[in-house]
Structure formats: C-alpha cells, structure tokens
Structure 1
C-alpha cells in the first residue's frame, strides 16, 4: 500500500484489493451510529451481523420495526424479497459495507470517486480520502483498522457512520435478538 501519495484512478483496483486482503472472512457483530450530514435528524443506532463466508447479513436499526436481511442471494427488506448479489445488497443497509469496506461506493468507476490519499494515523489506522473526479471539493473519507480490515468510520457525501463495537462471533454463537436501543446521550468518542 502506498502512503502519503496522490493516487490515480488506475490505482483504485489494487488499493481496493489491498484493503480487502486486510480482513479474514468471518462472522462479525457490529454496533454503531449513523447520522445524516447537515441535517437536523437525530443519530440512529444500528446492530448488524455480517458473515462473509456464506455472504449473509442482518441489520436492526433504531426506529425500524423491520429487520433487513440478506441470505442465499435474496435481499429481504420492507419492500419484500428480491434477488441481488452480496456486493449490491449493502446499498439497502450501508453500515453492512463497513465490514466489507472494499464494497463501499468510493473506489472509482462507477461511483466516480477516485482514491486520492492513503495515510497511516496512530499506528494501525488507515485514513483513505477520496474526491469526486469532477469536483475535488466533493470528498468521502473512510478509516480502516489494519488489524481487522474493517472500516470503523465512514464520512460519505450524505451521512456519517461510526462503529462503536466490532467483534468476531463464534461459529456456534446464536445471532443476537433484535436490539432495543436506548437514547443516545452524546456522540460516540472518536479515538485513534
């Protein structure tokens, strides 16, 4: 991985592969917070389980009665079941893509965002800043932990997502029940 160097669009596929290689496929539980940028909406909490080995996931969101899930090539959302690929299924539940950051919509075409700069911060965190090819002021940022290959922070064009907990689940561990979210008293502390 090349650090502190402005990268071209042609570097995007190899950088994306390097980010994916940081992670071993596993079943992971994550919890976090998502908030719309520039809006007055309250932050919403979420809980998700992603199993890369069988390409499945479930997501519970604060305020939603429905649990979105994806398994065996079928996305089950409030709109009903639909066949879709694992890579595209995260569009319905963007926090899922934090556990598979190579699927985030920032790695060049067709998203039109080109990786600009990769920096190592505080030892094991990778700060990837991307800008839109037609407007350099339009940027997205992701922070990936080199130790687990998971994106713990995502600053997209319309929302900010922060993981507050991530852990690998045992194979025989049951999926957690639908989460009851308590009201947030403050935004999670960001530590690098």
Structure 2
C-alpha cells in the first residue's frame, strides 16, 4: 500500500504479481480501471505500449522496484542520494537511510528483509510504500484475478 507522506489522504492499496523468470509483472491499484503490465519487453500502461527493459519498467509501478531494492531510484546518479546510515532492526531487518547530496535534510529510507532481499518499506520524499504480504507462487499457478480491495481499518503496524 502507498500513502502520501503526512498521511493526509486515505492509503492506496495495490496488488503486484511478478514473474522473475519471464521478467513480467501485473500491477493493479485500488480505484484504477487500468491494469499496468509488463511482458515480452513491452510496458503496457495507461499511456499505451512502450518498448522498455525489465529493469526500467518499474517507473510506472514503483513497488516493482521494491522487490529488487538495488533498482530503487535512490542509489547514486541521477537521484544523487547516498547511504548515510545502515542499521540492523531486530534479527533480519536492515534500515538504510540515504540523504541527497545537495540537501542533507532530503532523506529517503528503505527497510530490507535480509531473508528475501525485498524492501518491505520505502519512505520516499513524497510517499510511503509498505508491502504487507509477499507470497511466492508455484510455477504452474495462474496469475491471480484482479483484486477486490477492502477498506483498511488502520495503517499497518511495523513488525521488526
């Protein structure tokens, strides 16, 4: 789920299904009629199909990049952020705080689970994204249908 920094509006929920072997994904966001998807080197977004690499396809659906944190738009140029704090949280969580090279007050934070290598929390400059559930599917399991999102009773509690 994604929420603007400051929590002014209701969080937005999403479902992301990624097939790493085929380098494909589908992204459904609460309230959107359009389903973003990437397959066979083509990104299908509301703007139409575009030929793009898998590594760059996450610009439309930023949570795709959370599954491979090394692709988050925070490491070096052009983002100009650099890690300034790396801290262990509990037994298997790593908190990485990065600051902008030109403004040390401009910071972003990523919380990575060492067990799966996924960024479960991303505190960006304008929003917060939290992955509340990650499930690995079997190879022959079909892609889940478009989700039905229920209203969230509260923002998820951090469990480190």
Give TM-score, length-normalised by structure 1: 0.81
Deviation, structure 1 residue 41 = 2.2
Task: Tell me if structure 2 keeps the 8 A contact 1:34–1:43.
Answer: yes
Higher relative contact order (CA 8 A, sep 6+): 1
- 1:74 deviates by 0.4
Write the distance in 2 (CA, Å) between the matches of 1:38 and 1:122.
26
Match of 1:20 in 2: none
| Aligned match of 2:65 | 97
Q: How far does residue 38 in structure 1 lie from its aligned partner after superposition?
A: 3.2
Partner of 1:3: none
Aligned to 1:126: 94
The match for 2:4 is 36
Q: CA RMSD in A?
A: 1.0
Give 1:40 deviation, angstroms.
2.4
- The ranges of structure 1 where at least 4 consecutive aligned residues each deviate by more than 4 angstroms after the TM superposition are none
**Structure 2: runs of 5 or more not aligned:** none
Once residues 120 and 6 of structure 2 are traced to their aligned partners in structure 1, the CA distance between those partners, rounded to angstroms, is 21
Aligned residues: 160
SS in structure 2 at match of 1:168: coil
Partner of 1:88 in structure 2? 56
Residue 147 in structure 1 maps to residue 112 in structure 2:
no
Q: Decide which structure has greater helix share.
A: 1
Q: CA deviation at 1:143?
A: 0.4
What is the aligned partner in structure 1 of residue 33 from structure 2? Answer: 65
